[in-house]
Amino acid sequence: MHNIVMPKLGFTMTTGIIQKWFKQEGDIVNRGDKLFEIMTDKVTFEVESFHSGILKEILKKEGEEVPVRETIAYIIGEDEV
Protein backbone atom coordinates (compact mmCIF):
# COMPACT_ATOMS: atom_id res chain seq x y z
CA MET A 1 0.00 0.00 0.00
CA HIS A 2 1.21 3.49 -0.86
CA ASN A 3 0.30 6.62 1.08
CA ILE A 4 -0.55 9.62 -1.09
CA VAL A 5 0.38 12.82 0.74
CA MET A 6 -0.21 16.53 0.25
CA PRO A 7 2.98 17.66 -1.51
CA LYS A 8 5.05 20.62 -0.38
CA LEU A 9 5.46 22.85 -3.44
CA GLY A 10 7.55 25.61 -1.88
CA PHE A 11 9.39 26.70 1.25
CA THR A 12 6.47 28.73 2.58
CA MET A 13 3.70 26.25 1.74
CA THR A 14 2.10 24.83 4.89
CA THR A 15 -1.28 23.69 3.52
CA GLY A 16 -3.04 23.04 0.24
CA ILE A 17 -6.69 22.82 -0.75
CA ILE A 18 -7.82 19.81 -2.77
CA GLN A 19 -9.64 21.35 -5.72
CA LYS A 20 -10.50 18.20 -7.67
CA TRP A 21 -9.96 14.46 -7.68
CA PHE A 22 -9.40 13.10 -11.20
CA LYS A 23 -9.81 9.49 -9.97
CA GLN A 24 -12.39 7.96 -7.65
CA GLU A 25 -12.15 5.14 -5.11
CA GLY A 26 -11.85 1.82 -6.91
CA ASP A 27 -10.34 3.33 -10.08
CA ILE A 28 -7.19 1.89 -11.59
CA VAL A 29 -4.31 4.36 -11.41
CA ASN A 30 -1.19 4.22 -13.55
CA ARG A 31 2.06 5.94 -12.71
CA GLY A 32 1.91 9.40 -14.31
CA ASP A 33 -1.91 9.66 -14.30
CA LYS A 34 -3.32 12.96 -13.04
CA LEU A 35 -4.57 12.09 -9.55
CA PHE A 36 -5.74 15.35 -8.00
CA GLU A 37 -5.46 19.12 -8.26
CA ILE A 38 -4.44 21.37 -5.38
CA MET A 39 -4.57 25.09 -4.82
CA THR A 40 -2.08 27.02 -2.69
CA ASP A 41 -1.91 30.71 -1.97
CA LYS A 42 0.22 31.12 -5.11
CA VAL A 43 -0.65 28.41 -7.65
CA THR A 44 -3.04 25.68 -8.77
CA PHE A 45 -1.18 22.44 -9.51
CA GLU A 46 -2.13 19.03 -10.94
CA VAL A 47 -0.48 16.16 -9.05
CA GLU A 48 0.43 12.96 -10.87
CA SER A 49 0.59 9.53 -9.29
CA PHE A 50 4.01 8.09 -8.50
CA HIS A 51 2.48 4.60 -8.18
CA SER A 52 0.31 2.21 -10.17
CA GLY A 53 -2.52 0.25 -8.59
CA ILE A 54 -6.06 0.85 -7.36
CA LEU A 55 -7.18 3.98 -5.53
CA LYS A 56 -8.29 2.25 -2.33
CA GLU A 57 -9.48 5.15 -0.20
CA ILE A 58 -9.74 8.93 -0.41
CA LEU A 59 -9.31 10.44 3.05
CA LYS A 60 -9.63 14.13 2.14
CA LYS A 61 -12.46 15.46 -0.02
CA GLU A 62 -12.58 18.27 -2.56
CA GLY A 63 -12.53 21.65 -0.86
CA GLU A 64 -10.63 20.44 2.23
CA GLU A 65 -7.53 22.29 3.37
CA VAL A 66 -4.80 19.81 4.25
CA PRO A 67 -1.38 20.28 5.91
CA VAL A 68 1.63 19.35 3.75
CA ARG A 69 2.83 15.76 4.05
CA GLU A 70 -0.49 14.60 5.53
CA THR A 71 -1.88 11.40 4.00
CA ILE A 72 -4.86 12.14 1.76
CA ALA A 73 -5.39 8.77 0.03
CA TYR A 74 -4.11 5.20 -0.38
CA ILE A 75 -3.20 3.27 -3.53
CA ILE A 76 -2.91 -0.51 -3.29
CA GLY A 77 -1.39 -2.97 -5.72
CA GLU A 78 -3.78 -5.02 -7.80
CA ASP A 79 -2.54 -8.13 -5.94
CA GLU A 80 -3.65 -6.58 -2.60
CA VAL A 81 -7.36 -6.52 -3.46
Dump pLDDT digits (tens) for 12-67: 899 999 999 999 999 999 999 999 999 998 789 999 999 999 999 999 999 999 99
b/e for 30-60, b at 16 or more Cβ within 10 A? eeeeebbbbebeeeeeebebebebbbbebeb
| Number of domains composing the chain | 1
Q: What is the pTM of this model?
A: 0.88
Q: What is the domain range of residue 37? A: 2-80
Q: Residue 80's pLDDT band (boundaries 50, 70, 90)?
A: confident
The confidence score (pLDDT) of residue 41 equals: 83
Q: How many C-beta neighbours within 10 Å does residue 78 have?
A: 9
The CATH number of the domain where 54 resides is what? 2.40.50.100
